[in-house]
Amino acid sequence: MASENTPDTLLGAITYFADLDVATVFVASLRWPDGVRCPHCDSVDTPYVKSRRIWQCKNCRKQFSVKVGSIFEDSPIPLSKWLPAMWLLVNCKNGVSSYEIARDLGVTQKTAWFMLHRLRLAIQAKSFDKMKGDIELDETFIGGKARNMHQGKRKRLGITQGRSMAGKVAVFGLLERHHEKGS
Ligand SMILES: [Zn+2]
């Protein structure tokens, strides 16, 4: 792989997404490719509170995490489990069972089944959002170069971090669909 940080093994994905800042930025850049929008009121005036990994909407004054309004909501499962599970799902060409996910990620089989169910729905709906479709999922494993648009987006997210993730973001082959967003 061209990018040193791009996880191309399960172990790599687990290590990569163990950093909650990395996982948060990753999901945020996929959910909001054109900049963070408040899931409550659609405002873009949403400064990031890095210490708590939440956004504070200045319009409706509600706070939200990257999970709010997504398939990851309503569960205590951390992104450090969700993202490697997604990695398994899109990279195992012969399919992946809840038993495998349970074993590999150290969750119960019931939890693994729940995760698989939601992730498959997201693939069907082509979106991490509960309702509308922003993201197309493709089975292609995408490296960094085509994705360096995220560099500017990350700045708009107000997120800085120690190691550079520029161009290394879309490791699951998640393709953004750039559709019109009414403002
Ligand atoms: Zn709001």
Task: In whole angstroms, give the CA distance from residue 128 to residue 138.
Answer: 13
The pLDDT tens digits of the residues spanning 79-132 come to 999 999 988 888 887 889 999 999 999 999 999 999 998 888 887 777 777 644
Q: What are phi and psi of 34, to 5 degrees?
A: -100, 15
pLDDT of residue 71: 87
Ligand 1 center to 35 CA (angstroms): 14
Q: Which residues contact 82 (CB under 8 A, 6 or more apart)?
A: 72, 115, 119
Find out whether 45 and 58 touch, Cβ atoms under 8 Å: yes
Query: Is residue 176's pLDDT more than 70?
Result: no
Query: Is residue 146's pLDDT more than 90?
Result: no
Ligand 1 center to 156 CA (angstroms): 17
Name residue 90's amino acid.
V
Ligand 1 center to 170 CA (angstroms): 27
Round the CA-based radius of gyration of the chain to a whole number and report it.
16
pLDDT of residue 6: 57
CA-to-CA separations, 140 to 32, 82, 116, 156, 174, in angstroms, rounded: 21, 19, 19, 27, 8
pLDDT of residue 59: 97
Ligand 1 center to 182 CA (angstroms): 15
Ligand 1 center to 60 CA (angstroms): 4
Could you write out the three-class secondary structure of 46-68?
CCEECCCCEEECCCCCCEECCCC
Ligand 1 center to 178 CA (angstroms): 22
Query: Is residue 72's pLDDT more than 80?
Result: yes
Ligand 1 center to 44 CA (angstroms): 8
pLDDT of residue 74: 78
Ligand 1 center to 83 CA (angstroms): 26
Ligand 1 center to 111 CA (angstroms): 31
Query: Is residue 168's pLDDT more than 60?
Result: no
pLDDT of residue 135: 43
Ligand 1 center to 54 CA (angstroms): 12
Task: In whole angstroms, give the CA distance from residue 83 to residue 154.
Answer: 19
The pLDDT tens digits of the residues spanning 7-61 come to 888 998 999 999 999 999 888 988 887 889 998 999 999 999 999 999 999 999 9
Find out whether 120 and 171 touch, Cβ atoms under 8 Å: no
Q: What are phi and psi of 181, to 5 degrees?
A: -115, 115
Residue scoring higher pLDDT (137 or 29): 29
Residue scoring higher pLDDT (36 or 173): 36
